[in-house]
Amino acid sequence: MPETTFLDSTELVLNMGPQHPSTHGVLRVILKLDGEKVMGTECVIGYLHRGVEKIGENRTYLQFAPYVDRMDYVAAVSNGLGYCLAVEKLLNIEAPPRAQVTRVILTELNRVASHLLWLGTHALDIGAITPVFYTFREREEVLKIFENYCGARLTTHAFRIGGLQYELYDGFEEQVKAFCDMFLPKVDEYEELLTNNRIWVNRLKGVGILNADECKEFGVTGPVLRAAGVSWDLRKAQPYSGYEQYDFEIPTAQNGDTYDRYGVRMREMRQSVRIIRQAVDKIPAGPIGKTPKVIKPPVGEAYVSIEAPKGELGYFIVSDNSTQPYRVRVRPPSFINLQALDRMVRGGLVADVVAIIGTIDIVLGEVDR
Amino acid sequence: MAATPWEGELPAALKQRFGDQISECSTYLGQNFAVVKAEAVIPILEFLKLEADFDYLVDITAVDYPNRTERFELFYILYSFARNERVRIKTAIADGYKPGTATAVHSVANWLEREVFDMFGVQFAGHPDMRRILMPEEWEGFPLRKDYSIIKQDDRWVKENLGIESGQ
Amino acid sequence: MNKFLRSIFLVDLFQGLWVTFRNQNPKYIYTEQYPGERPKVAERYRGAPRLNINPDNGETLCIACNLCALACPETLIVVGSERNEQTRRKDLTTFTYDLSRCMFCGLCEDACPVDALELTQDFELAAYTRDGAIWDRQMLEEGPRPTRYKF
């Protein structure tokens, strides 16, 4: 007596990507479909693999810093901060207060920029074409601050091991404050466009649910975890770079669906502005830190992680007391969050796959490294 | 600054439970780690998950030391939401040894172990899907091994698939 | 009941449309008419490299110390020098900068002890050939000459 199974002919295999516009890069998802229903997925990644970890073993500590910007290129400042903190930990040094406050301002601005890019493209994937123009307009203001500060807009290379390379330019505080004042009403504007919009709500509510236990099981961090009701943020849990001085909240939601993740990220942008405002008011005077002449950490290893816009970004560096790291391991949030995609889309509809890929907020440069 | 012994309840519990399978419990730069025997890794992960709340496996990675007899060092980084604490489990394995998979304990280990296999050629016994993840499937060689030079590549694969002599 | 009425009268959709309508205001125009209107990049912008020459005597500032070549992560700078027996110093002979691999990180600029090598505000670096992206000393001293368009 043969087992009753689905006939193979009812299952359709559909290739999504690597050139699909809403896979946010070169992600290829092989979907197994039963009609409109997704029975299973398989992610094929690696199209953008550049061997960043191998490059790290063949560069000096200082030379490797520009490469980390190229992993998560929409949040290059966060990547640079994580790397600098990891090497500083190995060297057992700390950046001076002025450098730390500047780092906080720039990383929070970067978080805003990253979330803005996410919001625009995510809305575009779902069919709301307007927000992408507005979010890119505001993101431009952030990029202008980066350009004025360190001379590059996207892959900034803003920080150096031990502090900063560039002193703040004249008018930095005013420009950042003007951005904050301009930006908060704009967030309200995005919310007016989307939050109550019936198409938006219907497309997102109850789609791609990942509850707290599943998040922990799959190691999912960042806004996805917070939307599932876990109030966990590395900036609060294990503060780095002086985050304990700032007063801010961790936005959370309960349902863990796509709509909640949208809400969490919107509130996170507001909290980032709150941090920036506090930080700008108290930039201390003093040195901005100097890169050590010779960077030769003692033999040992350290794991340092920060809260990047996408989740926990960790650097695990093994040193053998030479000028080059013996091994650099990057724990990319996108790579690990993407693994939960299968759990989120299984049983859903094909059209929801696009929404769910968008909501994880992956950057393929970081997934493939 | 050298590593100092890691004191406290958790290392004591680990040592009591696993005895001589744990060879060292230390702290370096404020980060706790335990050096354990390779076959004890999965029971320790399970013990830490069930009895010490280390419910989040942050990362699995490896480091290659070509001159040692036990060539690879495997690292398991764990985090506990309840304790707000990190622990690193460290083990050394020889080339060709197949450590057990952690997928049954933490689902996140699936892709992480695939990446370790992809980059170092460490096969995990019992892994549901032991294939390459970032490199092309037919690629030969394991890029993050120390004897794999940075300009080296699989010439045959590049020629067959890209139709060029050099991938540089 | 209120919610029902709001959904009947499409309040949520009109709310969004009102935002779009507000943004029709010409003062929100953000597009730059490049290349007719050239963007003004920041003072610290890291663009095309330039090898500075001393304005007084027209000699190069570079002392051929090779520090930029050592600092470069991509090792794309090649400095050629020969020893001058009169001044007992090294004189710069050739300087090659491979822009096709440059990622404008600014480490060479930081390493330069005499501010001879500098990343400037020129950003139009396209070339017709791969060789065109490899700049020699003359090109580095003169800088690129982008086409200026008139509209």
Residues of B in contact with A339 (CB under 8 A): 107-108, 110-111
Q: Mean of the pLDDT values across residues A267-284?
A: 90
Higher pLDDT, A147 or B154: A147
A172-194 vs C11-22: helix axis angle to the nearest 10? 150
Contact in structure between A325 and A317 (CB atoms under 8 Å): yes
What per-residue confidence (pLDDT) applies to A273? 92
Sign of the torsion formed by the C-alpha atoms of A136, A142, A148 and A152? negative
Same domain for B148 and B118, yes or no, is no
Positive or negative, the Cα torsion across C74, C80, C85, C86?
Answer: negative
Give yes or no for residue A42 having a pLDDT over 80: yes
Would you say residue A5 has pLDDT above 60? Answer: no
For C5-64, the DSSP string reads HHHHTTHHHHHHHHHHHHTTSGGG-----TTTS-----TT---SEEE-B-TTT--B----
C-alpha distances in Å from residue A69, one per residue of A61, C56, C110: 14, 40, 18
Helices (DSSP H) in chain A: which residue ranges?
Answer: 52-57, 61-68, 76-91, 97-126, 130-150, 172-194, 198-204, 212-217, 223-227, 234-237, 258-281, 333-339, 341-345, 350-360, 364-368
Query: In chain C, what residues touch A144 (CB-CB under 8 Å)?
Result: 42
CA dist., res. C78 & res. C61, Å (int): 16
Interface membership of A147 toward C (CB under 8 Å)? yes
**In this complex, which of A148, A194, A198 lies closest to C44 when CB atoms are compared?**
A148
- Tokens 């919009």 -> residue: A197
Q: Which fold has domain A52-363?
A: Cytochrome-c3 Hydrogenase; chain B (1.10.645)
Chains near A with 3+ CB pairs less than 8 A apart are B, C
Say if C23 is an interface residue toward chain A (CB within 8 Å): yes
Q: How far apart are CA A46 and CA A369, in angstroms?
A: 8
Instruction: State how far the Cα of B139 lies from the Cα of A192, in Å rounded to an integer.
Output: 50
Percent of chain A exceeding pLDDT 70 equals 97
In three-state secondary structure terms, A9 is helix
Query: Is residue B10 located within the same domain as residue B89?
Result: yes
Start-to-end CA distance of chain A, whole Å, equals: 50
Asked if the model's pLDDT at residue A7 lies above 60, the reply is no
In whole angstroms, what is the distance from residue C90 CA to residue B127 CA? 61
Q: How many CA atoms lie within 13 Å of A319's alpha carbon, on the beta-carbon side?
A: 23
Which chain A residue's Cα is nearest to C44?
A151
pLDDT of residue A9: 57
Q: What does the pLDDT read at residue C122? A: 83
Chains that touch C (3 or more CB pairs under 8 A): A
Nearest partner of C77 among C57, C94, C58, C93, judged by Cα: C94
Which residues of B lie inside 8 Å of A (Cβ-Cβ)?
Answer: 1, 3, 28-29, 31, 55-59, 61, 63-64, 75, 77, 81, 84, 86, 88, 106-108, 110-112, 119, 132-136, 143-144, 148, 150
Per-residue confidence band for C1, with pLDDT thresholds at 50, 70 and 90: low
Question: Given a cut of 50, is residue A1 above it in pLDDT?
Answer: no
- Domain match, B123 and B151 both: no
| Residue B81 to residue A300, Cβ atoms within 8 A | no
What residues of chain A lie within 8 A of the CB of C71, using their CB? 62-63
C45/A147 CB distance under 8 A: yes
State the pLDDT confidence band at A116, using cuts at 50, 70 and 90: very high
Find the CB nearest B108 among A90, A316, A339. Answer: A339
Query: Does B100 lie in the same domain as B167?
Result: no
Same-domain pairing of B109 and B29: yes
pLDDT tens per residue, range C67-76? 888 888 888 8
CA distances from A67 to A103, B145, C23, C72, C104 (A): 18, 20, 39, 12, 11
Q: Is the pLDDT of residue C93 over 70?
A: yes
Does B144 contact A45 at a Cβ distance shorter than 8 Å? no
The answer to whether the beta carbons of residues B91 and B41 sit under 8 Å apart is yes
Domain count of the fold of chain B: 2
DSSP states of C89-118 as a string? EEEEEEEEEETTT-----HHHHH-TTS-EE
Instruction: Round to whole Å and give the CA distance between B88 and B58.
Output: 10
B162's enclosing H/E stretch is helix B155-162
Domain range enclosing B52: 4-134
Beta-sheet pairing, B85-93 with B31-36: parallel
C85 CA: distance to closest CA in chain A (Å): 32
ipTM of the modeled complex:
0.88
Pick among C22, C46, C75 to test the A interface (most A CBs inside 10 A): C46
By Cβ distance, the residue of A64, A140, A152 closest to C46 is: A152
Q: How many CB atoms lie within 10 A of CB A197?
A: 19
Cβ-count burial A203-223 (b if 16+ within 10 Å, e if not): bbeebbbbebebbbbbbbbbb
The structural domains of chain C, ordered by start, are 49-142 (3.30.70.3270)
Residues B96 and B162 in one domain: no
Cis peptide before A298 (omega within 30 of 0): no
Contacts of B77 in chain A (CB under 8 A): 303, 314, 316, 331
Instruction: State pLDDT tens for residues C122-138.
Output: 888 888 888 888 888 88
CA atoms within 13 A on the CB side of A45: 28
Partnered with residue A32 across adjacent β-strands are A13, A40
Residue B103 and residue B159 in one domain: no
Q: Are residues B31 and B87 in the same domain?
A: yes
Kindly state whether residues B122 and B155 are assigned to the same domain.
no
Considering chain C, what is the average pLDDT of its residues? 83
Q: Is the pTM of this model over 0.90?
A: no
As a whole number of angstroms, the distance between CA C108 and CA B158 comes to 33
Same-domain pairing of B13 and B63? yes
CB-closest option in B29, B111, B135 to A300? B29
A142 to chain B, closest Cα gap in Å: 31
Record the tokens describing residue A7, joined without a space.
């006939």
Size of interface A-B (CB pairs under 8 A): 88
- Evaluate the CA torsion angle A139, A144, A150, A155 in order and state its sign: positive
Contact pairs from chain A to chain C, CB under 8 Å: 70
Residue A168, Cα to own-chain centre: how many angstroms?
A: 25
Choose between A106 and C36: higher pLDDT: A106
Q: Which residues of chain B have pLDDT under 50?
A: none
Q: Which residues of C touch A205 (CB under 8 A)?
A: none
Pairwise CB contact (< 8 Å): C44 & A151: yes
Residue A198 has what pLDDT?
82
B89 and B162 belong to one structural domain: no
Say which CATH number the domain at B24 has.
3.30.460.80
What residues contact residue C110 under an 8 Å CB cut-off, 6+ apart? Answer: A165, C71
Chains sharing 3 or more CB pairs under 8 A with chain B:
A
Neighbouring C-beta atoms of residue A181, cutoff 10 Å: 11
Note which residues in 15-74 of chain A have CB less than 8 A from chain B.
45-46, 49, 51, 53-55, 57-58
pLDDT of C7 over the 80 cut: no
Measured between CA atoms, how close is A316 to chain C, in angstroms? 21
pLDDT in tens, A322-352: 888 999 999 989 899 988 888 888 888 888 8
Asked if A64 reaches chain C (Cβ–Cβ under 8 Å), the answer is yes
